[in-house]
Amino acid sequence: MNHFVKTTVVSALAFMAGFAYAADTTVQQVEIFFGTVPSSTDAAQMATVPVPSAANRSGAKAALAAAGPAPALSSLQISNVGSSNVGWESIAAAQTTTVYDHGGAQLRVVTDEFGYGNVPVARYNGSVLPTSANYLTQTICWNGSAYVLPRSAGQTVVGFRKYWNLDGKQNGSFSYQNTSTNSPWNTLSDSISIL
């Protein structure tokens, strides 16, 4: 088999694998705010998808792939922390500690990643969280002029927003990392100290 045919076959398989992965992660597309449908105020707070910047915290990358099959993981960021006592707090790119003292029965963290990763690992105070802690995954899409969620017909999936359940935990460090599904197979990470 000549080099051209091998490259074409490998590219086609990678393309199909990217779509299969995207299909698997969009199965549970519903909006949840602490287990219920968000109010209009909550939805407005959470609907903003931050655009990664060059000022991302240590370990995060800034390049984006707005189109194409299974783009490599290019940016990963903790974007929101929420709790029963405070509600949702947006986390800036260079922020390393929450501004508010989160507490109460419920504690949640939202991560946004651009590109496709397949080895997600979340930790709280150094301990690996079970995969069930990721209770919701939404697709981040490009509609031609802005990043939006959830996905509508005709929009290109460019990343994923993941919601993490840390109920019962307080005053600690949350970290999240993922490894790119394809070349360059890089691992990106982000962390935040939750007051």
Q: What is the DSSP letter of 84?
A: T
Interval 121-160: pLDDT, tens: 999 999 999 999 999 999 898 887 888 877 777 788 899 9
Q: What pTM value is reported for the model?
A: 0.67
pLDDT value at residue 155? 80
Domains and CATH numbers, the chain: 3-194 (2.60.40.2870)
150 in Cβ contact with 139 (< 8 Å): yes
Q: What distance in Å separates the CA atoms of residue 190 and residue 93, rounded to the nearest whole number?
A: 10
CA-derived radius of gyration, the chain: 17
**Of 112, 99, 109, 4, whose CA–CA distance to 50 is shortest?**
112
More confident residue, 40 or 138: 138
Quick check: 83 pLDDT over 80?
A: yes
Quick check: 192 pLDDT over 50?
A: yes
Interval 5-14: pLDDT, tens: 333 333 333 3
Quick check: 23 pLDDT over 50?
A: no
Name every residue whose Cβ is closer than 8 Å to that of residue 80 and which is 6 or more positions away in sequence. Answer: 45, 46, 88, 89, 90, 91, 108, 109, 110
pLDDT value at residue 109? 96
Quick check: 93 pLDDT over 60?
A: yes
